[in-house]
Every structure is written in C-alpha cells, then in structure tokens.
Structure 1
C-alpha cells in the first residue's frame, strides 16, 4: 500500500522544519561512529580502572580490543511492580553476552518513580522533571567510553522517555529496550472505576476502596490499563527499539527470559564489531517519530506523549509540534479499545492480536513508514511477528492475521473511529491537547460558566461540599511546569465522572497534565502558555463563559468587555517551591520549556521550534 498522502506530507514538513538541527545532530553523532571497540580509545590506566572488579574470564576479554562490551542501564527498584522483575535481568544479560562472545557490565542505575503512588501527592510535582533526571543519569552511565552497545531496562511513565533521551545523546551506540511485561489481570477495569466513583460519592469507605485497588494492582509487572507505561511499550515496538513482540509478554516466564537473553545477543550483533552495525541515531529519524505518533493515535494512547515524543524527537534533532499530532489524528483511525478507552486490559489486547496485528493493519493502510531501520533489521515488517518457544528455542512467527476479538482490535477498514484519539485545541485561551477516544460524542462540546481553582484539592473540596452540582468548566491553573512541575490531575477523574453521569455538562481546562488514564470527561490539558507565564488562563474569572469544542478544535472564553484589561490574579506558589525535594528542582521549574516544546529542562543552544 502506498503511503497515505497526509502521513507523507507531515513527515516531509517535519524533515524540512528539522533540517538544521537534524543535520547538526547527525554530524556530531556520526563523528563518533567507530570501527573498533570503544574502550580501545582509553589509556591503560583508565581501562584498568574499568575492569578491576570484573571476574577473571570477563577481564581477559575486556583486555582484548576486538570483543564488544555491552552496557546495562536499569531503572530497577522493587517498589514499582513494573520494575521489580528487572532485578534478575543483569545476570541473564551478562550470561547471554558472554555466551555470544562479548561481555556486559552494569553501567548504571537511573531513578524510577511511580505516578500511581505519587498521584495527588507532593511527589507528583517531581514526576515530570524525573524524565530529564533519568536522561542525565543515563548519560552519566554511558560516559566511561567502555561500551559498544546498550540495553535499557525500563517500563513506566517518565522512565522510558528519559532513558531514550539519554541514549540519543550517545546515538552512536546501538540500543535495545527491554521491558518486564504486564502483571496478570485482576478485577475488571470497569469494576475498579465504579468503586472509585462510589468512594468519591462517599458510598463506600477507604477499606473497600483499598481492597478494590489491591485486587487490581496485585503482583509483579506493569499495570494492565493502557496508560503511559503501556503506551511506552507500544512506542518501543513501533519505533523499532524492542525485539518484535516483546512488549506484553508476562514477567517471570520462560518466554520473557528468552527474550531478555536474546536482546543482549542482538545488541552485540548491532555493535560496530558485530555483523549489522545499527547505531540508535539511524533508527530514530523523522519516519520513526511519525510512526510513533501514528501508533499512539491508532491505539488511543497516553496524552503524556504529546510532551514526551516532542522531547524525544528534540534529542534526535527533530522538531515536531501539536499540529503534527492533530493533522495525523484526522486520518489515522482508532483500531484499539483498551481501558480507559474500553473495557479490556493490555493482556486482553495482546491475546486479541496485540501490537503486531495493529502494525500490520497500519502497514496495509499505508499509515506508517515501512522503510525504517530497527533493532530487528531493516523494515517495520519485523514487528508484525510474535515470539514463541519451539522446544525451548526462541523463534518468531507471523502475528494473528485478523483480530481474535473485534471488541478490542479492529481492522483499519472497520475501525472504532475514523480518526485518532488526540486533538489540538486552540483559541484565545491558548493551545492545548485533548484525548477524545474515550469521550462520547455528546460530551465533546461543553459551553458553560468557568469555576476557577488553583489546585485540585480545592476542586475536590467544593465537590464534597455539594457546590458543583451544575454545568461548569473547571479551570485548574498554575499547574504548569514553571509553577509546580506540571503534576497529573488524575485524582479529579472520579468526581468529574460522577457529575457527568448525573447529567451535568462538565469539562476540565488546565495547564497541568491529566495522565495516560485520561478518560470520559473532556479535558483540555497542557494549556500553553501556562498561567504563571502570563498565559490567558491567568485572566479567567468565575462565571466567564468558556467553550471547549473537541469537534472543531476550539478552546475559548466568550470574551467579556474587560477581557484584555484584566491583570492576572495573584497566586502564592511558594508552598510548591520547597519541601519533599522540591527545592532541588528550582532550576528545572525556571528553565522548563513550554508544554508544546516538551516541558524540557535542557535544549540544544540552537534549538527553535517553528510552527
């Protein structure tokens, strides 16, 4: 199938917009490509330091200049269920690398925090900036010039984007990302959501809520809803950085162990001394980024990636904007319904055909670039296969040729929706993104009086006091990266959902984030410029009529006469500046770019984003 003309148009526009920065990135990175092992550049004293503690057999190999050495960069901790299985991976990777004729060293660990734990708490104000800390920690791990390729162990929200941004700063090295897989399915997502709403209404207590949540999040592996963590795994597949079909294989299974070992062996093959030198800089190009956006849209993925993909692309010298997301969304059909966009979880999605089937459908429809380099070889067709064990040996076969459950995955010619799940909103309140894949058509246009809040707790208090039983647009402002680190406001979802179910027309407008679990209530998020920077959101007053129209893409205040004469309402952000580690992130808040530029705390000196 010929490539869809809009996909080609957007790709060409991104390439033209990015020409200067991409050329500079590739020139800088290609200058570091080598034909020998990286450690061959080190002096003897430097090298002796680097292998002093290694086992004798590994030390002998590291003394040789020809054998490749693999870096392991891990985000393991045992508080995150998704990352707890990673504890066993370094030993497997070292064994596999040695068996393949190379070596592997644990290069470094990166921090990993869980948005599920910090949701609605102070720690959430550090969450977004943790992505850039992870990127910097990754760079430090790779800084020793000892490594010829790297495997990156990570799963969740900011962690995979941070690892990839850091890896791209060492784009001369090949890279493979290694996930842990999802936990087994617990109670249904529908039952979990219902209990949350009952708790918000005061109809069940904390004990009942905790029991429900414990039955949902109950073992090792990734949370099974399709939030940012599982959107990350989809992206690593469609952008060619996993071994094919690796994303949703459960942890602690023979197939998962075989895939982990194979990732190490494949990474060595991709090194400069291997048989198929494929540096990361050649994998992540404009076509791969567009494929990532298309995959996100086709599966109804996380809104957080309207930030993260922008930052990832920048790290490779590529400039994308929300216009690119929105134009692609107009032609990319929604092929999957996974909670919160449906009742199924990712295990059900995987069983119904999974990412391999979705990629095959997108290829048939001409909606993704087939001509890309990947960790599995040239061509995206590699990712229409699934792994299996044949008498204990890892092999691949074609993924399901058609959906095994059309309530979860549909073909491109019979989609759930003719367009994707993310849209650009713009108007006199600024620019924002909205996820509509779970929003019913009758709720996509809300025109109602504004109720202004400066934090989510004030909104929840108003709800608990019975003050929100009406039509309204909640303006939750001073939640941007400069104000308080741009926390997710997912804690608002149950209360707003209850009000919507009671027949009220409600919507959320915020310069904060919602989450990968954005649901059925229309939410204009990431409003740029943020209120603290003097954005129009800072001028809204209670009672102003706000129009959110997800169909036409409008986000406006229906202007009162004194609109442009107002001054921003003073707000005290001091409580968000110190305590719980927040003082350490003062520079991040001061230097973070706007949301549309990824809310990044570091950029190339020559970086500009053209609309």
Structure 2
C-alpha cells in the first residue's frame, strides 16, 4: 500500500506540540517506564497484602492470582442502570472475566466510577457538578488501579466526562495497557430535526408539556447512547481514531452478537498487550501524534466543543501540552466530512451505516490528515482502523470495507467535503479567548454586531425572553458560568429560545464563560470564554447596551468600548455569591472550584500549567485567578 505524506500543517502542528511538550512528556515517560515490571506486578506484594487481593476470588482465578504467573486485568466500570448509555454494561464483567481467563489471564472488577447525565441535569443545580465529575472519575479510576494487582486495564464507559476521566485516571498508571470498552448507541428514534421543532414550539408556548415529553421519549427510548452527535458519540469517535478502542467498536449497538464479541475480544486483547513483544502501555498509545489524530477526527466530523477542554486535559495527563491555537490551525485544513445532528439531520446510526469510522479513517489517511504510524490497542499502525468487525460463522474477524461512502448526504470523502474546514473557530479580542462551533451555523449568521444584554443565570434569561425583552438584535451575555464560578454547567437549554429570536429575523449571538454542550447548534455562540468572570475576566465589566461584535470569519470577539473605559469599570458579580454554591451536593465541590484552571488549559484541577508553558504571555486578568 502506498503511503501518503502527512499534510504539512498537520506535521507542523504535531512538531510544535512535541517541542513545546519535550520536558513534561519526557518526565512523564520516565515516570511510567520506572513503574513497569516484567511479569505480574503483584509478585512484589507481601503475603498478607496478596492474600487480601485474592481472598474473595474462587476456583481457577484464585489459584492463578496466588501462583503469580498469569497477568491480572482490572475492570473499571461506569455501569448504572438509570442511564441508557451505561445500562448495557451490567453483563460486561462476566463476559470479560471469561475471555481474559481464556487468554491466560485473570480479571477482577477493580472499581466503579460515577456516571452522571447532562441530559438529565440540564438546567438543574446538579449540572454544576458535571464538569468536576470528570476529576472525580479520574480519581476513582486511580483508586481502582492503585492496589498493585493489575497488569492491564479494561475501562468501561461512554458519555461526556466519563471517558476523559477514565483516560486521565489510566494515564496516571501509564505503564499499564488500557482498552476502552464502549456500549454503542440506541436504535434511531424520532428524527432529531422533528425533536428540535417540538422544542422550539414549546419555547414559544405553541406546544404542551405532554407534546414535548412525547417527543423526547420517542428520541431517548432504549438502552444505548443518545443518537445525536454530542459529546458521548464524539468521545467514541475520538478515542477510536486515537487507537484506544478495538477497530470498529464505537457504534455497534448494544444487545447484538457483534457487540458481545467485541467486548469479549477486548478482554483477550488486554492480556496480549500486558506482556511480551506485544506489550503496549497506554502511555505509548497516547503520544503527540495520537492527540493530533484525535483532534483531526473531532474536526472532520463537527464534534463536541467540550473536547476543546477534554482533549487538552487528557493530553496534559500524558505530559503533552495541547492548546486552542492547535485546534484552530488544524481546523483550517481539516475538511468537514460528516453531516450528523446538530450539524445535519442524520444520526450516529446513519453515519455508521454510511461507512462510519472505517471510511472516515481511510479517507483522512489517504488525504494525509492523520498520522498512520502510531501504536494502538489493535497493533501498530492506524491502517487497522480502516477495517470493520464482522461475525463469520460465529467468529470475530476484521475485513476491508468499501472505499466509498454509502451515503454522501451523511458522510463524504476528503475530496468532496461538506465544508473546506473543520468548523471550530478560536475567537480572541478584548474579552479574552473563546471557542465557536461554526459547522452548523449558516454563513449569513457568522458575523453579529448588536447591543449586549447581560445575565448571570439561565433563569434570568428565560424571564427576559418570556417578557419579550429580547425581541430585537441582541448579543446575550451569560457570565459567572465558568469553572470557578459554578462548575461550568452546559447552557444548551438556551438554544430553543435563541432559535426563536433568530427565526424572527433578528441578529442573535451568545457570549458566555460557560459551556454549550456537544449539541451546540445553529446559534453563533462564543463559549468557554476565558478568563472567566469569576477570575476577573473582562466579561465581568460588560454592561447592558454595550455594543459587542462576534466575527467567526476573522476570529474576533470584542466589546466595542475603549480600553480606558473598559479598564476603569468595576468588576461586577466577581466572585459570585458563595450562597449559590450550596445544595444538591455543590458545597462538596468548593475545593475543586477554587483549584480549577482556566478552560483553555482543560478546566482541570490536576496540575494546571501556567500560560508561559504554552509559549504565550498571560492575559492581564489571569493574574486575578487566585480569587475565590
């Protein structure tokens, strides 16, 4: 097979990341190499420690653990039976223990991690725990792996913060091989376009609550992930292209024989990767090239803006310094190849049927937009991910797939994209830096210049909308929604009302230091604004009536007020009232709010680095991030 040279911009960005990260990456790899031992790690345990580790085991597993010959494999799971995405995993540990045993290892359920659903907590106080649940998941995974009993890990998780949290936790044990084991999407339900129509009618008072609930229940109707292309399915796409899933595992539906076969094969593969010539630690799978491959996959599919934080945090856990500038530069050369809701009307099952990850990887490799020479859990080289898994006479095999898309209204080759770029823009200006997803925004809506209307809560916005106060050209500013302020909840619930204003012919945009979720849609939204208001960012000086300009074409975000005038204003609502930090468990997360880094550094509490590490000067307001 002839090799296509890697695109010069992809190569340049990767080289720049590697140079920027040389010190931190080297230190990380030195640390993980020192932790690796040949043979089962539990050999180093004292007899009393080891006896505790196999006391509850039975039969051949107990014998294997005691004899110190077979590798031990940890199962870490986000299973619960309330959330559709995780409910299918209740059978996985039994399947995995059997397949690991068959391959010459022994698996133990090492620990569970929490899994919360942004779809349930959207607009509720519980959403303020959502982003920080990633850190709790990472710590929970680390606790599960901390017993020196394991030589590999199987990480069971799907949605928003769960996959990034599991990876961050696993990277603290980077000497261990780790395979992510997904559950797959639910069957297609009510088309996403129809669901959005009913939501907007409800926002206008033209549909009843019962109408809305019927529509939502027809959309989210069975076990598996939601079928729109939000953060959950973006997770699956990104980690498969990074080589952390078995090839083709992401979008096989739960309950199918193929889903079970892939799950069982993950157990066998974990044993193979734990020793000998195939030893493949997760620290070596996630390198600078794999990180860039993940960003490219996100951009090429119009994936979730949440990954502009999650990928930064995952990379940092591997000693790699990824920046928003890297996203921006890659976005300008990576074409948009998928048309999946909210960027189009198709869902993730339609994407999978059209060729899915296999076709996407193939066309991106052929265009030189992915690094082919990477390590993966399937072996060396990303070319393995051009093949699809099938069952032939009950046996799992991988085969070559069509070199063309089976539905170009959903998935296209790099030679015929939906758009020439990846649809993410990094905005900068006198308000700071923000992310904007343009892949679902019509070109005529990408530049907005209008007076500001400032809020500090979603409820305040809702009241103003219902009172008709926003029925005009407006840039809605919602501040005090950043990680320090209240944990950076998603503000997706604003979309229907903003869509109503746009449909009335108004110029509308949103500017916020909060998140807008993986379902960011057709409203131009400058999100994850940093520095945030609670850290003294300039957005805390914006007033009602100030003229704001958002320009997705030039990448500018400014309040049109003189520098002298803006600097002379008092910071408003900074920091926010601590009284809002109590109830629904929020008081338990106060320490995380005080320790969290800015959004462009992953909104992480784990070793947030200074701006100088990223080769850029600190923003003047970042010196105030010791507030709160």
Which range, TM-score by smaller chain?
over 0.9
CA offsets, 1:176-200, max 9 Å, x none?
0000000000010000000000000
Among 80, 83, 87, the alignment partner of 1:80 is 83
Separation in 1, partners of 2:246, 2:81? 24
Q: Secondary structure at the match of 2:389?
A: strand
Tell whether the 8 Å contact from 2:272 to 2:279 is kept in structure 1 after alignment.
Answer: yes
Say which is worse superposed, 516-525 or 598-607, in terms of deviation: 598-607
State the partner residue of 1:329. Answer: 331
Tell whether the 8 Å contact from 2:141 to 2:166 is kept in structure 1 after alignment.
Answer: yes
Query: How many Å apart are 1:282 and its aligned residue?
Result: 0.5
Query: How many Å apart are 1:573 and its aligned residue?
Result: 2.5
Tell whether the 8 Å contact from 1:294 to 1:368 is kept in structure 2 after alignment.
Answer: yes
Q: Secondary structure at the match of 2:154?
A: strand
Among 168, 183, 186, the alignment partner of 2:189 is 186
Separation in 1, partners of 2:122, 2:66? 48
State the partner residue of 1:271. Answer: 274
State the partner residue of 1:565. Answer: 568
State the partner residue of 2:386. Answer: 384
State the partner residue of 1:587. Answer: 591
Tell whether the 8 Å contact from 1:301 to 1:421 is kept in structure 2 after alignment.
Answer: no
Query: How many Å apart are 1:605 and its aligned residue?
Result: 7.9
Among 37, 41, 45, the alignment partner of 1:42 is 45
Say which is worse superposed, 574-583 or 306-315, in terms of deviation: 574-583
Q: Secondary structure at the match of 2:494?
A: helix
Separation in 2, partners of 1:602, 1:364? 37
State the partner residue of 1:153. Answer: 156
State the partner residue of 1:121. Answer: 124
* Counterpart check, 1:466 vs 2:471: no
Q: Secondary structure at the match of 2:278?
A: coil
Separation in 1, partners of 2:118, 2:610? 33
State the partner residue of 1:201. Answer: 204
* Equivalent residues, number: 610
Separation in 2, partners of 1:460, 1:144? 49
Separation in 1, partners of 2:512, 2:407? 36
Say which is worse superposed, 553-562 or 500-509, in terms of deviation: 553-562
Q: Structure 1 runs of 4+ off > 4 angstroms?
A: 604-607
1:529-608 equivalences under 5 Å are 529-560=531-562, 562-570=565-573, 572-603=576-607, 608=613
Gaps of 5+ in 2: 617-628
CA offsets, 1:455-491, max 9 Å, x none?
1111111111111110000000010110000000000
Q: Secondary structure at the match of 1:123?
A: helix
State the partner residue of 1:19. Answer: 22
CA offsets, 1:41-98, max 9 Å, x none?
1111111000001012111111122211110000000111000000000000001111
Separation in 1, partners of 2:416, 2:257? 36
Gaps of 5+ in 1: none
Among 479, 482, 493, the alignment partner of 2:481 is 479
Tell whether the 8 Å contact from 1:131 to 1:158 is kept in structure 2 after alignment.
Answer: yes
Tell whether the 8 Å contact from 2:485 to 2:534 is kept in structure 1 after alignment.
Answer: yes
Say which is worse superposed, 601-610 or 586-595, in terms of deviation: 601-610
Say which is worse superposed, 226-235 or 397-406, in terms of deviation: 397-406
Query: How many Å apart are 1:576 and its aligned residue?
Result: 2.4
State the partner residue of 2:177. Answer: 174
State the partner residue of 2:620. Answer: none
* Counterpart check, 1:101 vs 2:120: no
Separation in 1, partners of 2:67, 2:240? 34
Query: How many Å apart are 1:142 and its aligned residue?
Result: 0.2
Query: How many Å apart are 1:570 and its aligned residue?
Result: 3.4
Q: Secondary structure at the match of 2:403?
A: coil
Tell whether the 8 Å contact from 2:433 to 2:530 is kept in structure 1 after alignment.
Answer: yes
Query: How many Å apart are 1:275 and its aligned residue?
Result: 4.6
Tell whether the 8 Å contact from 2:472 to 2:507 is kept in structure 1 after alignment.
Answer: yes
Tell whether the 8 Å contact from 1:96 to 1:265 is kept in structure 2 after alignment.
Answer: yes
Q: Secondary structure at the match of 2:396?
A: strand
Tell whether the 8 Å contact from 1:484 to 1:573 is kept in structure 2 after alignment.
Answer: no
Tell whether the 8 Å contact from 1:352 to 1:403 is kept in structure 2 after alignment.
Answer: yes
Q: Secondary structure at the match of 1:31?
A: helix
Tell whether the 8 Å contact from 2:231 to 2:517 is kept in structure 1 after alignment.
Answer: yes
Query: How many Å apart are 1:604 and its aligned residue?
Result: 6.8
Separation in 2, partners of 1:357, 1:69? 35
State the partner residue of 1:493. Answer: 495
Query: How many Å apart are 1:222 and its aligned residue?
Result: 0.3
Tell whether the 8 Å contact from 2:75 to 2:156 is kept in structure 1 after alignment.
Answer: yes
* Counterpart check, 1:89 vs 2:92: yes
* Counterpart check, 1:58 vs 2:65: no
Query: How many Å apart are 1:144 and its aligned residue?
Result: 0.3
Separation in 2, partners of 1:526, 1:165? 21
Separation in 2, partners of 1:511, 1:12? 31
Separation in 2, partners of 1:593, 1:609? 14
Q: Secondary structure at the match of 1:70?
A: strand
Scaled by the length of structure 1, the TM-score of the pair is 0.99
Tell whether the 8 Å contact from 2:597 to 2:608 is kept in structure 1 after alignment.
Answer: no
State the partner residue of 1:254. Answer: 257
Separation in 1, partners of 2:609, 2:451? 43
Separation in 2, partners of 1:56, 1:185? 43
Tell whether the 8 Å contact from 1:199 to 1:206 is kept in structure 2 after alignment.
Answer: yes
Separation in 1, partners of 2:143, 2:216? 37
State the partner residue of 2:146. Answer: 143
Separation in 2, partners of 1:606, 1:46? 40
Separation in 2, partners of 1:10, 1:16? 10
Tell whether the 8 Å contact from 2:534 to 2:573 is kept in structure 1 after alignment.
Answer: no
Q: Secondary structure at the match of 1:101?
A: coil
**Pairwise CA RMSD:** 1.1
Query: How many Å apart are 1:318 and its aligned residue?
Result: 0.3
* Counterpart check, 1:9 vs 2:27: no
Q: Secondary structure at the match of 2:384?
A: helix
